[in-house]
Amino acid sequence: MANPLEVANGRLLVAIDLGSNSFHLGIAREVNGNIQPMYKVKQRVQLAENQDEQGNLCTKAIDRGIECLKQYSQRLSEMRFDDIRIVATFALRQAPNRKLFIKQARAVLDYPIEIISGKEEARLIYAGVSQSRQITLPSLVIDIGGGSTELIVGQGHKPFAMESLSMGCVSYQSRYFPDGSITSKRMKKAVLAAEQQLEVLQKRYLSLDFKGALGCSGTVKAITSLIHQGDLTQSITLDQLNQFADVLIDHQHVDALPYEDLAALRRKVLPSGLAILIACFKQLEIKSMSFCDSALREGVLNEMADKERHHDIQLHSINHLQISYQLDQLHSEHIRASAGYLYHCFEAKHPEHKSWLSYAAAIHEIGLQINYRSIHKHGEYILSNINLAGFNLEEQQFLAFLVRWHRKKLYDCEVPLVQFIEEQQIWPLLICLRLSVLLHLGRRHHIALPQLKQKNNSIQLIFDDAQLDDELLIADLEEEQLQLKQIGWHLTW
């Protein structure tokens, strides 16, 4: 394996996947859009272990996670890399106390930690699998993680269906095999619970008529390896899984299993992972499954290598919302163009953030699907609860914030606590969006845009004389002047 410290050509990329069971570090070189894997390591942390009823992470799990990140930090301090992306999945996605972990993690690795939704996780998993395998026929991909299981049907590089279910080998271990004891009754109960969760997608997934199945990540890898004595090239069947379950039950306890090379933490979650896999085979009528060594980490690396593709995915999601919610795309385009023009006039502009104006302008009226009254609040609700491919949860939260405050009163407006943009960089984006919406009220699309001068927290709009005679426009500006004052900005014209 090449030494990542000695790479002379190409961009060096780092991806870290903070999973519910394991943390993964991947290092790759990007050359002309192609990924060359150079180094990867996995450490079982079991972040989802012993979560309370609300899903809060326990202190010991947090400590294990931080200790793992310290080791990764040491490795990264020895190299020069060009880009890094850290994504977190189910355990942090569900944990009300995730900010406690993130605060400690940022002290160790001072880079943003992206909490991704279940469907976004599924999309990235398929991206990783489809980059390493030629998927010529419709195929099912399953990733059984520590807290969730992702199921994707796709062909080539395109996923047709993506779901994330709240069942994982760590959470099921805590629920059905808490003391390590393995009985027939416990196994049947765990399998049945997983089957019940799979019922919601069974009919839809079977109708897609997939021709093959791939399993990725630790659970499928461990089970395949144990069934075939280390040979990961052979596929597994339901009969083999049931026979393997009988072997586990015969040994009665995870500590009594005869697999000397099986790590203690993997041994602990083997029965629960097997139960979930059996349920998947039964409910989705899987005849056989092959193991694939690529998953979320590889999907993240591939999108890092092709940032334009990631932007295209985000743009496709926004366009899909415009079509699905029957939004006025011409009006949105006027809002986008005006907001972009005004933002360009700001001294404190950041070109890399301008895309947020485009996204927010495109869907600022999405709340119309509920009611025009409180359209901005309805829009925030929709965007806070929908799955948006290409956006992590913080990015989605920020988009919902811009739509929520694009009009009306600002007296209780608070910027969201996000890691990818500073608070002082947020206000110019929101102000430009608000002013653009104001200038185009009533579908007023032929208005001459004013010049904008900004210094510190003061904004001056310079109109021509005819516009200054527009009493309705002046009344709207006077109201906006009062609202911007609420957030510490001064507007004049």
For residue range 62-86, what is the model confidence (pLDDT) as tens digits? 999 999 999 999 999 988 899 999 9
pLDDT greater than 80 at residue 444: yes
CA distances from 461 to 28, 141, 168, 456, 458 (A): 49, 55, 56, 15, 10
**How many other β-carbons are positioned within 10 Å of the β-carbon of residue 116?**
26
308: pLDDT strictly greater than 90: no
The secondary structure of residue 288, as a DSSP letter, is -
Banded pLDDT at 450 (limits 50, 70, 90): very high
Phi, psi of 212 (to 5 degrees): -150, 170
Domains of the chain are 4-116 (3.30.420.40), 119-299 (3.30.420.150), 326-492 (1.10.3210.10)
Q: b/e string for 248-273 if b means 16 or more Cβ within 10 A?
A: bbeeeebeebeeeebeebbebbbbbb
Confidence of residue 1 (pLDDT cuts 50, 70, 90): very low
Model pTM score: 0.87
Mean pLDDT for 157-181 is 95
What's the rounded mean pLDDT across residues 333-354? 92
Per-residue pLDDT reduced to its tens digit, 370-394 = 998 899 999 999 999 998 999 999 9
**Tokens of residue 470, six digits:** 């527009």
Maximum C-alpha span of the chain: 89
Q: Chain-wide mean pLDDT for the chain?
A: 93
User: Exposed/middle/buried for 293, CB within 10 Å: 0-12, 13-18, 19+?
Assistant: middle
pLDDT over 50 (residue 4): no
> pLDDT band at 5, cuts 50/70/90?
very low
How do residues 223-263 score in pLDDT, each as one tens digit? 999 999 999 999 999 999 999 999 999 999 999 999 988 88
